[in-house]
């Protein structure tokens, strides 16, 4: 498995390469099609690094995505599914497990076991020291009952 | 599935504590995964509805449930106390709701309910609470009122501060307001740094600003880490992973001034938690950790935005600001090679300092001649990836975060504050627009200079090789020029890059700093002449609009001097919050 035959490749300009000075870790690098430039012509308040899409012939088009990420944004990122239909991928710190669907994971047996375990004592210890300023609302009425919320 | 009684608090008894501890100990090792990975998922409706007794009956119409209904379901106690009005923010790890409750006397009070993602580890949750309790409620740091829990669902109740959206008001802020904003941000940072909290995600959406009331609140300790001498005991547990995994802290201990005087009640609040944490700390060094599975996420989860309390429109802005449309998807790591090297030696002993971590049989120490050269080979790529905390937002990450320096301090928050200041002074938000760390670094080099960046990186053990030499920008000229532009400016001008010959070396001498309006306006005239000369009048036209613009024509040089010190590429010399508040820029600031 280790590096028996050495394969070397040259980074294409422009690039950026970052290494640990003691060479203990893998270098990481970035090869860009062009190095960033401060673009003063982009109107305020947009980033001077806002993406200007250049097509092959150098025509430019400013994309102001301040508020609306466009679809083309998403197309460029295969992992990104439009939010509404996206399952929420992530990592569960409780189960130490990656999941592809948050909802499915938190309902899984393993997670539910954790959820009901005494692991949360550390949280409850803190909660138990709070006093609640809020009064309990009586069900179905906006009236206020003079009772502390957690007693 | 489960027959839990709704509305019933879970109050686990203090029994089996030791057993629990052991398990927790084992699991906490994975906590750092969040810092490294930052899962991608931003703005879906919160499907946080855990399995419960409602599920059976509700499954059909589950899709129709609103987020609010789901929250009431997940934490039924909320219904007894609050009327939830709506969701006001959503991030990767939590959603925030506006709710109304009644306090004694029947008075209504608005609160923010922060519902944490149920995959959060209890220790992380507790650490966040401790931050709020210990540091919060004062000096522009958000406090906490109460907390609800049902199983894995935790809701933190905080005072609600109505606030502006940074990008909405950026254009209309006066210079004096901007100065106040910075002063108050630094005050909050001074406070949390005093307690040894590194926030890690300082950005406008986490610093609430009510312009009318001139109120401010730093929020969201969900990514916080502790300095080695943090007063937040639980923070010692979480980041210790990273410290041990990566290397020991090199930086001199954080100066926290005089002794901390937490009110007794506050100490009580986290006493028991502390005990637990200490036990963990004592034995965690013997634990082995598994690292292999994190790497993939590290590769593709760079750009997660965390905006919780502050984003009224649910991260719309921030997901845009992830700039997914980079011209080319950068390849940070070589994936095929990674497969070769990473998976197998995923286990290593935690308890050591520098150097030892790669000693478990990976070909980490094999040398090659790629160092500081424009090449990579199978040898250097077969080394293990360095693990360093990098939670947060690319555009606000300090160079030492972007380059994976393991020794990160409160200085990273100061850098982020500098980025906010840069936005205020230049009128640009977001200032940096990068979807990944190295693009962000390239953009920083474009402003601060490649040589300067490379030089500073050496001081924290990193070699940066850049194929292009880029001169540092003069911050004053940069900001004035960026601010001077108006939307009516002719876009056909295209890319304009400052001519290197016009640049002045940084830093701006503090001797030039003066708040005197006279001197400032003299300089302004000077600048105006200069830019007229340089740009053939085009620049002049836009600059001349400045005098009507709320003090922005009289920005003192001290502003740029402070900016320079916040954006110090070297974390060891970067200005602290405490010192920044004493900077001449804040002379006569109304407090
Ligand atoms: Zn889980």
Shortest alpha-carbon distance between residue B494 and chain A (Å): 6
| Confidence class for position A143, pLDDT limits 50, 70, 90 | very low
pLDDT at site B309:
58
Average pLDDT along chain B: 70
Exactly one of B43, B67, B201, B298 is catalytic; which is it?
A: B201
Apex CA B311: angle with CA B113 and CA B139, to 5°?
A: 70
Q: B563 versus B519: which is more confidently predicted?
A: B563
Residue scoring higher pLDDT (B82 or A1)? B82
A8–chain B Cβ distance below 8 A for any pair: yes
Task: Indicate the pLDDT class of residue A72, thresholds 50, 70 and 90.
Answer: very low
Share of chain B above pLDDT 70, in %: 57
Evaluate if residue B393 carries a pLDDT over 50: yes
pLDDT in tens, B246-258: 222 222 222 222 3
What is the average pLDDT across B134-156? Answer: 98
The rounded Å distance from CA B47 to ligand 1 centre is 14
Quickly tell me which residue has 């589950």 as its tokens.
B62
Give the closest residue to B160 by CA, choosing from B106, B221, B215: B215
Give the number of other CB atoms < 10 A from CB of residue A137.
Answer: 20
Judge whether B201 counts as a catalytic residue: yes
Query: Cβ atoms within 10 A of the Cβ of B541, count?
Result: 14
Tell me the CA end-to-end span of chain A in Å, nearest whole number.
Answer: 62
Coarse DSSP helix, strand, coil percentages of chain A, rounded to the nearest 5 percent:
20, 25, 55
| pLDDT, position B353 | 33
H or E segment to which residue B154 belongs: strand B153-159
Q: How confident is the model at residue B387 (pLDDT cuts 50, 70, 90)?
A: confident
Q: Which secondary-structure segment (H or E) carries B240? A: helix B233-246
ipTM: 0.78
CA distance B446 to chain A (A): 7
Check pLDDT > 80 for residue B129.
yes
Averaged over B190-197, what is the pLDDT? 98
Inter-chain residue contact A90 with B41, CB threshold 8 Å: yes
Nearest CA to B456 out of B467, B464, B447 is that of: B464
- Tens digit of each residue's pLDDT (9 = 90 or more) over B540-551: 444 444 446 799
Q: How far is the CA of B393 from the centre of ligand 1 (A)?
A: 25
Query: Hey, what domains does chain B have and what are their CATH numbers?
Result: 16-43+67-160 (3.30.200.20), 163-238+388-484+552-590 (1.10.510.10)
Q: Is A66 left (phi over 0), alpha (psi -120 to 50) or beta?
A: alpha
Query: Which residues, at least 6 apart from B143, have a Cβ–Cβ distance to it below 8 Å?
Result: B132, B133, B136, B137, B158, B159
User: Higher-confidence residue: B350 or B217?
Assistant: B217
Please answer whether residues B402 and B190 qualify as being in contact, where contact means their C-beta atoms are separated by less than 8 angstroms.
no
Q: Give me the helix-helix angle, B264-284 and B122-135, nearest 10°.
A: 140
B476 labeled part of a ligand binding site = no
B324: its two tokens:
């997914």
Q: Which of A103, A80, A65, A118 is nearest to B151 (CA)?
A: A118
pLDDT, position B230: 96
Cβ–Cβ below 8 Å for A123 and B147: yes
pLDDT digits (tens, 9 = 90+) for B52-74: 333 333 444 444 689 999 999 99
Using an 8 Å Cβ cutoff, are B305 and B318 in contact?
yes
- Residue B276 Cα to ligand 1 midpoint, Å, equals 22
What is the per-residue pLDDT across B250-280, written as a single tens digit (0 to 9) for each?
222 222 223 333 333 333 334 444 454 444 4
The lowest-confidence range among A130-134, B190-194, B202-206, B475-479 is A130-134
Rounded Cα distance, B394 and B422, in Å: 15
Chain B residues within 8 A of A103 when measuring between CB atoms: 47-49
Q: Which residues contact B322 (CB under 8 A, 6 or more apart)?
A: A69, B303, B304, B305, B394, B435
Q: What is the mean pLDDT of residues B83-87?
A: 96
Contact criterion met (CB < 8 Å) for A66 and B167: yes
* pLDDT for B147 beyond 80: yes
Q: How far apart are CA B398 and CA B376, in angstroms?
A: 25
């Amino acid at each position: 498995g280790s590096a028996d035959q050495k394969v070397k490749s040259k980074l294409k300009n422009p690039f950026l390469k970052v290494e640990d000075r003691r060479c203990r870790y893998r270098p990481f690098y970035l090869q860009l099609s062009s190095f960033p430039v401060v673009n003063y012509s982009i109107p305020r308040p947009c980033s001077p690094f806002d993406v200007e899409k250049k097509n092959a012939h150098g025509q430019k088009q400013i994309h102001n995505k301040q508020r609306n990420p466009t679809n083309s944004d998403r197309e460029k990122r295969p992992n990104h599914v439009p939010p509404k239909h996206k399952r929420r991928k992530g990592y569960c710190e409780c189960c130490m497990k990656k999941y592809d669907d948050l909802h499915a994971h938190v309902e899984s047996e393993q997670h539910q076991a954790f959820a009901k375990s005494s692991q949360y004592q550390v949280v409850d210890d803190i909660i138990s020291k709070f006093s609640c300023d809020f009064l309990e609302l009586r069900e179905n009425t906006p009236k206020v009952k003079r009772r502390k919320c957690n007693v | 599935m489960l027959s839990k009684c709704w509305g019933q608090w879970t109050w686990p008894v203090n029994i089996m504590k030791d057993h629990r501890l052991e398990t927790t100990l084992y699991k906490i090792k994975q906590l750092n995964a969040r810092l490294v990975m930052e899962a991608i998922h931003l703005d879906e409706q919160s499907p946080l509805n855990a399995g419960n007794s409602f599920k059976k009956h509700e499954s059909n119409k589950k899709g129709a449930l609103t987020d609010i209904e789901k929250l009431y379901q997940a934490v039924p106690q909320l219904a007894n106390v609050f009327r939830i009005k709506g969701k006001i923010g959503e991030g990767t790890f939590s959603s925030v709701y506006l709710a109304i409750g009644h306090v004694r006397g029947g008075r209504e009070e608005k609160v923010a309910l922060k519902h944490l993602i149920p995959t959060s580890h209890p220790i992380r949750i507790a650490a966040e609470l401790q931050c709020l309790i210990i540091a919060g409620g004062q000096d522009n740091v958000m406090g906490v009122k109460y907390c609800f829990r049902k199983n894995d669902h935790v809701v933190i109740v905080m005072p609600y501060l109505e606030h502006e959206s940074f990008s909405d008001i950026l254009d209309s802020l006066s210079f004096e307001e901007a100065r106040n904003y910075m002063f108050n941000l630094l005050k909050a940072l001074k406070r949390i740094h005093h307690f040894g909290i590194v926030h890690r995600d300082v950005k406008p959406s986490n610093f609430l600003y009510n312009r009318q009331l001139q109120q401010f609140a730093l929020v969201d300790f969900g990514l916080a880490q502790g300095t080695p001498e943090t007063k937040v005991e639980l923070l010692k547990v979480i980041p210790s992973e990273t410290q041990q995994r990566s290397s020991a802290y090199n930086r001199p201990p954080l100066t926290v001034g005089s002794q901390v005087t937490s009110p007794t009640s506050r100490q009580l609040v986290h006493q028991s938690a502390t005990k637990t944490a200490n036990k963990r700390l004592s034995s965690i060094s013997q634990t082995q950790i598994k690292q292999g599975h994190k790497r993939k996420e590290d590769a593709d989860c760079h750009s997660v935005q965390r905006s919780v309390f502050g984003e009224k429109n649910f991260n719309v802005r921030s997901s845009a600001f992830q700039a997914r449309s980079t011209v080319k998807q950068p390849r940070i790591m070589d994936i095929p090679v990674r497969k070769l090297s990473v998976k197998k030696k995923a286990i290593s002993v935690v308890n050591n300092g520098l150097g030892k971590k790669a000693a478990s049989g990976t070909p980490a120490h094999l040398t090659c001649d790629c160092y500081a050269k424009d090449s990579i080979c199978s040898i250097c790529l077969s080394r293990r990836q360095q693990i360093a905390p990098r939670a947060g937002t690319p555009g606000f990450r300090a160079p030492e975060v972007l380059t994976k320096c393991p020794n990160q301090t409160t200085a990273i928050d100061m850098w982020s504050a500098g980025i906010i200041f840069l936005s205020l002074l230049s009128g640009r938000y977001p200032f940096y627009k990068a979807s990944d760390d190295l693009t962000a670094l390239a953009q920083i080099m474009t402003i601060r200079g490649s040589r300067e960046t490379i030089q500073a990186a050496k001081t924290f053990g990193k070699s940066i090789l850049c194929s292009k030499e880029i001169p540092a920008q003069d911050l004053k000229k940069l900001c004035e020029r960026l601010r001077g532009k108006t939307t009516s400016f002719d876009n056909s001008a295209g890319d304009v890059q400052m001519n290197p010959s016009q640049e002045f070396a940084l830093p701006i001498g503090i001797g030039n700093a003066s708040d005197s309006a006279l001197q400032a306006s003299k300089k302004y005239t000077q600048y105006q002449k200069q830019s007229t000369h340089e740009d053939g009048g085009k620049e002049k036209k836009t600059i001349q609009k400045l005098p009507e613009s709320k003090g922005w024509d009289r920005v003192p040089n001290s502003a740029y001097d402070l900016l320079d010190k916040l954006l110090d590429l070297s974390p060891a010399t970067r200005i602290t919050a405490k010192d920044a508040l004493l900077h001449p820029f804040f002379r006569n600031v109304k407090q």
